[in-house]
Amino acid sequence: MPKYVIERHIPGIGSSSPDELRRGAQASCDVLATLAPRVQWQESYVTGDKSFCVYIADDEQAIAEHAELSGFPATAVHEVVTVTDPTTAGA
């Protein structure tokens, strides 16, 4: 399945308490359970007003369906075409 990075504009998310983040993660997982195995959440990175979520999904439509059902916006969806890291340098 393709991998995607989803940018979500959520004002103030970076100021969320651990409990608020836990509740948000649970809400997302509840929706993911209904969409499985078409969509899988790997991890998210939270900044001040955005989160960047890494998902594996059948297609962008599955990502859009999760966003609609969960209430978490998919501001931009980017399909990952390759992954690079320090080992790419061959050092």
pLDDT digits (tens, 9 = 90+) for 49-82: 999 999 999 999 999 999 999 999 999 999 999 9
CATH 1.10.3720.10 holds for 3-84 = no
- Quick: pLDDT tens for 5-60: 999 999 999 999 999 999 999 999 999 999 999 999 999 999 999 999 999 999 99
Residue with tokens 């890291």: 85
Phi, psi of 70 (to 5 degrees): -85, -20
What is residue 42's three-state secondary structure? strand
Nearest to 67 by CA among 2, 1, 4: 4
Domain ranges in the chain are 3-84
For residue 54, the tally of other CB atoms under 10 A from its CB is 15
